[in-house]
Structure 1
Amino acid sequence: KEGKNIWVGELSSAFHHFKPLPSFYFPVENIESFVEVHPLRAVSLQAFTLCFWSRAQPVGSQTILSYSTGESDHELMVTVGSEVGLWIGGHFLSFPLQHQEQGWLHHCITWASREGTATLWLNGAAGRAQSIQQGYVSRAGGMLVLGKDRDTLLGTFSAGFAGWLSQVGLWSRVLGPAEVRALALCRAGQPQGDVIAWGQTPMALLGGVLLQPDTSCQ
């Protein structure tokens, strides 16, 4: 039922009723939709890989993942649209896109503090590495959500995602090229994220986010 909040945990029958696991659908007309994530470990990261499938509605820049703390609204944030945007510790980086694709797209964003480099992988192909936040470590104790950018000063949500989101994984390391390509090719038996593991990490679906069959790998 639209508007009803759903809790998706490791043993949730609503989530595991779907085979394979479902996608999240964020209705374009519902600006209140978001997913609250309870990560498997503290989001204090010296490196990470965020991978996900998305099929976004063409309505401008949209937030995929937002992690904010009391000191930093944009401790870690990723947006999609005419570009892929990445915030780490309040610093911003843009990965320009050559075209707007209306179907499913597989994204992986990697970052390593030691080198201070970030790379966008799109459908298994790597773009040019860019520099951001060398030596930085993200702060623990924040709020992690999917589908919205949280402004902690105002307590409001904006830049909402509209469309389908699936197979979100967050690792505390940089995945290798073969691992990224295997995820983009939907190969079975790939390692789950140790921060967000799709289908295992507890999540709360709020504001009318719906569970729908996942067609990303078809």
Structure 2
Amino acid sequence: MRPLIGLFLIAVSMALAGSVPIKTLVFSTATSTSYVEMIPQKPLNLTAFTLCMRVATELSGQREIILFAYRTGSYDELNVWRELDGRLSFYLAGGGVLFKVPELGALITHLCVTWDSTSGLAALFLDGKRSLSKIYRKGHTVSPGGRVILGQDPDSFLGSFDEQQSFVGEISDVNMWDVVLADNAIQGMFAGKRVARGNVFDWESTELRTNGDVEVAIREL
């Protein structure tokens, strides 16, 4: 049986059983070659956003880890990191905003990042719980024309990868909106409730282009 046909049949059987099938990306080892490119449904010309994902990693406290990377030809427009000291952070074309939160681990964590240019308000959500707000990059706009990848930190448009910054673990359910979602919508998402899918990235329909040693599996949500 071909792998894609097998995944499709598994997804159908889960749907018939009443569970929600979801694609999961498994990055087994640190490399400078394995990544997944996500093809957006609209240009990332953003003055606000909500970015959510489900993530797990056992690289606790060993090194920094890239969780999400969007780069144009000139800048890292939006990068989300697990820092060396365990803090979570994101960067918009320059210095970042960092949050001291419980460290990511082997248990799947639902992570969301929100930001609004008008107010500058930035926050994180971990498993439905919101962090304090911080003021960050008020008046900034995220520029379109770049590429989004999972698994690597590109220091050029799509290259110059560093194995010691690569992601190792599991990522799934990556969705992005061009607005800041209400707290209760994010909390419902964590709880598995159906919400309006992302209009920038919708994990159920967004095209994924895998490169290198990345396994794509189907599991129940």
Shorter chain as denominator, the TM-score bin is: 0.7 to 0.9
Contact 2:153 2:166 (C-alpha < 8 Å) held by counterparts = yes
**Bigger Rg over Cα:** 2
Tell me the TM-score normalized by structure 1: 0.86
Aligned-residue Cα RMSD (Å) equals 2.0
* Residue equivalent to 1:180: 186
Q: Does 1:77 align with 2:79?
A: yes
* Residue equivalent to 2:115: 111
Q: Secondary structure at the match of 1:44?
A: coil
The Cα shift of 1:143 comes to: 1.4
- Partner Cα distance (1:197, 1:142) in 2: 18
Contact 1:15 1:199 (C-alpha < 8 Å) held by counterparts = no
The 5 A counterparts of 1:142-153 are 142-152=146-156
Q: Does 1:63 align with 2:66?
A: yes
The Cα shift of 1:99 comes to: 4.1
1:66-103 CA distances to partner (integer Å, 9 max, x unpaired)?
1111221x210101251111001223111112445321
Q: Which has the higher helix share?
A: 2
The Cα shift of 1:208 comes to: 1.4
Q: Percent identity?
A: 26
Moved more, 31-40 or 96-105: 96-105
The Cα shift of 1:64 comes to: 1.4
The Cα shift of 1:212 comes to: 2.2
The Cα shift of 1:17 comes to: 4.5
Q: State the one-letter code of the partner of 2:140.
A: Y
* Residue equivalent to 1:137: 141
Aligned residue pair count: 204
Q: 2:195 aligns with which of 186, 190, 204?
A: 190
* Residue equivalent to 2:25: 24
Q: Secondary structure at the match of 1:194?
A: coil
1:165 and 1:100, CA in 2 relative to 1: closer, same or farther beyond 3 A?
A: closer
1:154-205 CA distances to partner (integer Å, 9 max, x unpaired)?
9311311101101000110001011100111111x21111111002111101
* Residue equivalent to 1:52: 53
The Cα shift of 1:28 comes to: 1.7
The 5 A counterparts of 1:200-215 are 200-214=205-219
Tell me the TM-score normalized by structure 2: 0.85
Contact 1:169 1:198 (C-alpha < 8 Å) held by counterparts = yes
Moved more, 109-118 or 56-65: 56-65
Contact 1:105 1:122 (C-alpha < 8 Å) held by counterparts = yes
Contact 1:33 1:206 (C-alpha < 8 Å) held by counterparts = yes
* Residue equivalent to 2:159: 155
Give unpaired runs (5+ residues) of structure 2. Answer: 12-20
Contact 2:114 2:180 (C-alpha < 8 Å) held by counterparts = yes
- Partner Cα distance (2:209, 2:40) in 1: 12
Contact 1:91 1:132 (C-alpha < 8 Å) held by counterparts = no
1:80 and 1:87, CA in 2 relative to 1: closer, same or farther beyond 3 A?
A: same
The Cα shift of 1:22 comes to: 2.2
The Cα shift of 1:122 comes to: 0.5
1:15 and 1:168, CA in 2 relative to 1: closer, same or farther beyond 3 A?
A: farther
- Partner Cα distance (1:30, 1:75) in 2: 23
The Cα shift of 1:31 comes to: 3.5
